[in-house]
Protein backbone atom coordinates (compact mmCIF):
# COMPACT_ATOMS: atom_id res chain seq x y z
CA UNK A 1 0.00 0.00 0.00
CA UNK A 2 1.31 3.40 -0.91
CA UNK A 3 -0.46 6.52 0.31
CA UNK A 4 0.34 10.09 1.20
CA UNK A 5 -1.82 11.63 3.92
CA UNK A 6 -2.16 15.34 4.59
CA UNK A 7 -3.36 15.89 8.16
CA UNK A 8 -4.48 19.46 8.89
CA UNK A 9 -5.47 20.87 12.26
CA UNK A 10 -9.14 20.32 12.96
CA UNK A 11 -11.30 17.51 14.20
CA UNK A 12 -9.23 14.39 14.61
CA UNK A 13 -10.02 11.20 16.47
CA UNK A 14 -7.22 9.70 18.54
CA UNK A 15 -7.79 5.98 18.75
CA UNK A 16 -7.26 4.47 22.17
CA UNK A 17 -4.31 2.13 22.52
CA UNK A 18 -4.90 -1.58 23.08
CA UNK A 19 -1.84 -1.69 25.34
CA UNK A 20 -2.13 -0.87 29.02
CA UNK A 21 0.46 1.64 30.14
CA UNK A 22 3.24 -0.31 31.83
CA UNK A 23 5.87 0.73 34.35
CA UNK A 24 9.20 0.85 32.57
CA UNK A 25 12.69 -0.12 33.70
CA UNK A 26 15.78 1.43 32.14
CA UNK A 27 19.23 -0.16 32.15
CA UNK A 28 22.45 1.29 30.72
CA UNK A 29 24.10 -0.91 28.09
CA UNK A 30 27.74 -0.57 27.08
CA UNK A 31 28.72 -2.22 23.81
CA UNK A 32 31.72 -2.26 21.50
CA UNK A 33 32.91 -2.32 17.90
CA UNK A 34 36.64 -3.01 17.76
CA UNK A 35 38.29 -0.38 19.94
CA UNK A 36 35.20 1.86 19.96
CA UNK A 37 32.89 1.87 22.97
CA UNK A 38 29.25 2.96 22.88
CA UNK A 39 26.76 3.58 25.66
CA UNK A 40 23.03 3.28 25.09
CA UNK A 41 20.25 1.91 27.23
CA UNK A 42 17.45 -0.63 27.17
CA UNK A 43 13.92 0.24 28.30
CA UNK A 44 11.34 -2.47 28.88
CA UNK A 45 8.02 -3.08 30.67
CA UNK A 46 8.71 -3.97 34.29
CA UNK A 47 6.31 -6.92 34.41
CA UNK A 48 6.96 -8.25 30.91
CA UNK A 49 6.51 -11.99 30.42
CA UNK A 50 7.86 -13.95 27.50
CA UNK A 51 9.44 -12.36 24.47
CA UNK A 52 8.28 -8.97 23.19
CA UNK A 53 8.79 -7.15 19.88
CA UNK A 54 11.89 -4.96 19.86
CA UNK A 55 12.25 -1.33 18.81
CA UNK A 56 15.59 0.28 18.00
CA UNK A 57 15.49 4.00 18.83
CA UNK A 58 17.97 6.40 17.25
CA UNK A 59 18.62 9.73 18.95
CA UNK A 60 18.54 13.24 17.54
CA UNK A 61 21.71 15.19 16.73
CA UNK A 62 22.42 15.85 20.42
CA UNK A 63 23.13 12.16 21.07
CA UNK A 64 21.64 10.02 23.84
CA UNK A 65 19.96 12.51 26.18
CA UNK A 66 16.94 12.83 28.46
CA UNK A 67 14.91 13.47 25.29
CA UNK A 68 15.94 10.02 24.07
CA UNK A 69 14.76 8.52 27.37
CA UNK A 70 11.42 10.29 27.08
CA UNK A 71 10.75 8.85 23.63
CA UNK A 72 12.11 5.38 24.44
CA UNK A 73 10.05 5.17 27.62
CA UNK A 74 6.75 5.97 25.98
CA UNK A 75 7.41 3.36 23.32
CA UNK A 76 8.33 0.75 25.95
CA UNK A 77 5.09 1.57 27.78
CA UNK A 78 3.24 0.18 24.77
CA UNK A 79 4.69 -3.29 25.28
CA UNK A 80 8.06 -3.23 23.51
CA UNK A 81 11.66 -3.85 24.50
CA UNK A 82 13.43 -0.70 23.35
CA UNK A 83 17.14 -0.28 22.77
CA UNK A 84 18.32 3.31 22.42
CA UNK A 85 21.53 3.11 20.44
CA UNK A 86 24.50 5.47 20.72
CA UNK A 87 25.68 6.46 17.25
CA UNK A 88 28.44 8.84 18.37
CA UNK A 89 30.28 6.76 20.99
CA UNK A 90 30.55 6.76 24.78
CA UNK A 91 31.12 10.21 26.21
CA UNK A 92 30.81 11.94 22.83
CA UNK A 93 27.96 14.37 23.44
CA UNK A 94 27.61 17.76 21.71
CA UNK A 95 27.38 20.74 24.07
CA UNK A 96 25.40 22.93 21.67
CA UNK A 97 23.77 23.07 18.25
CA UNK A 98 27.00 24.09 16.53
CA UNK A 99 28.85 21.03 17.84
CA UNK A 100 25.84 18.82 17.09
CA UNK A 101 25.69 20.02 13.49
CA UNK A 102 29.35 19.24 12.90
CA UNK A 103 29.13 15.82 14.52
CA UNK A 104 25.92 14.81 12.79
CA UNK A 105 27.39 16.02 9.50
CA UNK A 106 30.19 13.49 9.78
CA UNK A 107 27.57 10.74 9.56
CA UNK A 108 25.12 12.39 7.19
CA UNK A 109 27.77 13.25 4.61
CA UNK A 110 27.94 11.77 1.13
CA UNK A 111 29.37 8.43 2.26
CA UNK A 112 27.13 7.02 4.95
CA UNK A 113 29.07 3.80 5.44
CA UNK A 114 30.06 4.56 9.06
CA UNK A 115 26.53 5.71 9.83
CA UNK A 116 25.12 2.41 8.59
CA UNK A 117 27.73 0.42 10.52
CA UNK A 118 26.86 2.11 13.80
CA UNK A 119 23.15 1.73 13.11
CA UNK A 120 23.56 -1.98 12.39
CA UNK A 121 25.61 -2.35 15.56
CA UNK A 122 22.71 -0.87 17.49
CA UNK A 123 20.29 -3.27 15.82
CA UNK A 124 22.53 -6.24 16.65
CA UNK A 125 22.66 -5.07 20.26
CA UNK A 126 18.86 -4.87 20.38
CA UNK A 127 18.64 -8.44 19.10
CA UNK A 128 20.95 -9.61 21.90
CA UNK A 129 18.77 -8.20 24.70
CA UNK A 130 16.90 -10.64 26.90
CA UNK A 131 13.20 -10.82 26.18
CA UNK A 132 13.38 -9.60 22.57
CA UNK A 133 11.58 -11.47 19.82
CA UNK A 134 14.21 -11.07 17.10
CA UNK A 135 11.64 -11.90 14.41
CA UNK A 136 9.64 -8.77 15.28
CA UNK A 137 11.86 -5.71 15.06
CA UNK A 138 11.19 -2.06 14.29
CA UNK A 139 13.39 1.03 14.21
CA UNK A 140 12.27 4.55 15.12
CA UNK A 141 14.36 7.71 14.88
CA UNK A 142 14.08 11.41 15.62
CA UNK A 143 15.54 14.18 13.41
CA UNK A 144 19.12 12.91 12.82
CA UNK A 145 17.83 9.52 13.96
CA UNK A 146 14.93 9.70 11.53
CA UNK A 147 17.46 9.96 8.72
CA UNK A 148 19.30 7.10 10.39
CA UNK A 149 16.48 4.57 10.44
CA UNK A 150 15.78 5.22 6.76
CA UNK A 151 19.47 4.68 6.06
CA UNK A 152 19.37 1.44 8.05
CA UNK A 153 16.43 0.29 5.94
CA UNK A 154 18.31 1.21 2.75
CA UNK A 155 21.19 -1.00 3.89
CA UNK A 156 18.86 -4.01 3.70
CA UNK A 157 18.48 -4.51 7.46
CA UNK A 158 16.05 -7.21 8.53
CA UNK A 159 13.28 -5.07 10.01
CA UNK A 160 9.50 -5.21 9.88
CA UNK A 161 9.14 -1.45 9.84
CA UNK A 162 10.96 1.85 10.22
CA UNK A 163 9.47 5.10 11.51
CA UNK A 164 11.07 8.49 10.92
CA UNK A 165 9.90 11.35 13.15
CA UNK A 166 10.78 14.71 11.51
CA UNK A 167 13.87 13.17 9.94
CA UNK A 168 15.84 14.22 6.88
CA UNK A 169 14.51 12.40 3.83
CA UNK A 170 17.42 12.95 1.45
CA UNK A 171 19.62 10.11 0.25
CA UNK A 172 23.03 10.24 -1.46
CA UNK A 173 22.27 6.85 -3.04
CA UNK A 174 18.53 6.60 -3.80
CA UNK A 175 19.12 3.41 -5.78
CA UNK A 176 19.66 1.74 -2.40
CA UNK A 177 15.91 1.97 -1.92
CA UNK A 178 15.72 -1.36 -3.71
CA UNK A 179 17.34 -2.96 -0.64
CA UNK A 180 14.52 -1.95 1.69
CA UNK A 181 12.71 -4.92 3.23
CA UNK A 182 10.81 -2.97 5.89
CA UNK A 183 7.60 -1.02 5.68
CA UNK A 184 8.35 2.70 5.92
CA UNK A 185 6.48 5.46 7.76
CA UNK A 186 7.75 9.05 7.47
CA UNK A 187 6.15 11.52 9.90
CA UNK A 188 6.84 15.01 8.61
CA UNK A 189 6.08 18.58 9.60
CA UNK A 190 4.38 20.14 6.59
CA UNK A 191 6.16 23.45 7.29
CA UNK A 192 9.58 21.99 8.12
CA UNK A 193 12.11 24.36 6.52
CA UNK A 194 14.97 21.89 6.88
CA UNK A 195 13.55 19.37 4.42
CA UNK A 196 13.80 20.77 0.91
CA UNK A 197 10.89 20.28 -1.47
CA UNK A 198 13.18 18.51 -3.91
CA UNK A 199 14.34 16.08 -1.21
CA UNK A 200 10.75 15.32 -0.27
CA UNK A 201 9.88 14.67 -3.90
CA UNK A 202 12.99 12.52 -4.35
CA UNK A 203 12.06 10.45 -1.29
CA UNK A 204 8.59 9.78 -2.70
CA UNK A 205 10.07 8.84 -6.06
CA UNK A 206 12.62 6.54 -4.42
CA UNK A 207 9.87 4.72 -2.52
CA UNK A 208 7.73 4.34 -5.64
CA UNK A 209 10.52 3.13 -7.91
CA UNK A 210 11.75 0.70 -5.26
CA UNK A 211 8.20 -0.63 -4.72
CA UNK A 212 8.43 -0.08 -0.97
CA UNK A 213 5.35 -0.37 1.26
CA UNK A 214 5.44 3.22 2.49
CA UNK A 215 3.46 6.04 4.03
CA UNK A 216 4.19 9.75 4.34
CA UNK A 217 2.09 11.75 6.80
CA UNK A 218 2.39 15.53 6.82
CA UNK A 219 1.22 17.49 9.85
CA UNK A 220 -0.12 20.94 9.02
CA UNK A 221 1.33 23.81 11.03
CA UNK A 222 4.25 21.70 12.26
CA UNK A 223 7.93 22.42 11.68
CA UNK A 224 11.05 20.47 12.59
CA UNK A 225 11.38 18.76 16.02
CA UNK A 226 7.62 18.71 16.59
CA UNK A 227 7.86 15.89 19.17
CA UNK A 228 10.44 17.66 21.36
CA UNK A 229 9.10 19.86 24.15
CA UNK A 230 12.56 21.33 24.65
CA UNK A 231 12.39 22.88 21.18
CA UNK A 232 10.06 25.62 22.42
CA UNK A 233 6.97 26.78 20.54
CA UNK A 234 8.25 29.42 18.12
CA UNK A 235 7.72 28.08 14.59
CA UNK A 236 9.72 30.99 13.15
CA UNK A 237 12.88 29.31 14.42
CA UNK A 238 12.23 26.35 12.13
CA UNK A 239 12.17 23.84 14.99
CA UNK A 240 9.41 23.84 17.61
CA UNK A 241 7.25 21.51 19.69
CA UNK A 242 3.71 20.97 18.45
CA UNK A 243 1.41 19.14 20.87
CA UNK A 244 -1.14 18.08 18.24
CA UNK A 245 1.48 16.82 15.80
CA UNK A 246 3.24 15.04 18.67
CA UNK A 247 0.06 13.24 19.76
CA UNK A 248 -1.06 12.42 16.24
CA UNK A 249 2.34 11.17 15.14
CA UNK A 250 2.57 8.86 18.14
CA UNK A 251 -0.87 7.44 17.36
CA UNK A 252 0.32 6.89 13.79
CA UNK A 253 3.43 5.17 15.14
CA UNK A 254 1.36 2.83 17.34
CA UNK A 255 -1.00 1.87 14.53
CA UNK A 256 1.82 1.37 12.03
CA UNK A 257 3.85 -0.71 14.51
CA UNK A 258 0.98 -3.08 15.22
CA UNK A 259 0.16 -3.45 11.54
CA UNK A 260 3.81 -4.07 10.60
CA UNK A 261 4.33 -6.81 13.16
Q: Which pLDDT band holds residue 21 (cuts at 50, 70, 90)?
A: low
Kindly give the pairing relationship between strand 214-219 and strand 183-189.
parallel
* pTM for this entry: 0.91
Q: Which pLDDT band holds residue 24 (cuts at 50, 70, 90)?
A: very high
Measured between alpha carbons, how far is 8 from 22 in angstroms, rounded to an integer? Answer: 31
225-251, pLDDT tens digit by residue? 999 999 999 999 999 999 999 999 999
- Among 1-15, 60-74, 152-166, 192-206, name the one with the lowest average pLDDT: 1-15
Measured between alpha carbons, how far is 222 from 49 in angstroms, rounded to an integer? Answer: 38
Secondary structure of 60-76 as H, E, C letters: CCCCCCHHHHHHHHHHH
Mean pLDDT of 204-231: 98
Q: What is the pLDDT of residue 48?
A: 85
- Rounded to a whole number of angstroms, the distance between the first and last alpha carbons of the chain is 15
Residue 162 CB-density burial (10 A; 0-12 exposed, 13-18 middle, 19+ buried)? buried
248: three-class secondary structure by DSSP = helix
Measured between alpha carbons, how far is 128 from 113 in angstroms, rounded to an integer? Answer: 23
Q: What is the pLDDT of residue 243?
A: 98
Listing DSSP states for 117-133 in one string gives HHHHHHHHHHHTSTTEE
26-76, pLDDT tens digit by residue? 999 999 999 999 999 999 999 888 999 999 999 999 999 999 999 999 999
Stretch (H or E) spanning 236: none
Amino acid sequence: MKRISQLMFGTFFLASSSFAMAAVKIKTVEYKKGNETFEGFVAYPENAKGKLPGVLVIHNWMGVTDETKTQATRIAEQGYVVFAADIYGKGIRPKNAEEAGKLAGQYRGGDRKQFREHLQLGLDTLKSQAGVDASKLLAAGYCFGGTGVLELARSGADLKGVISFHGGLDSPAPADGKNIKAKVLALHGADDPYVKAEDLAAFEQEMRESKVDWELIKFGGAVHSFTEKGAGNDNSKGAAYNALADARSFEAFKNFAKASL
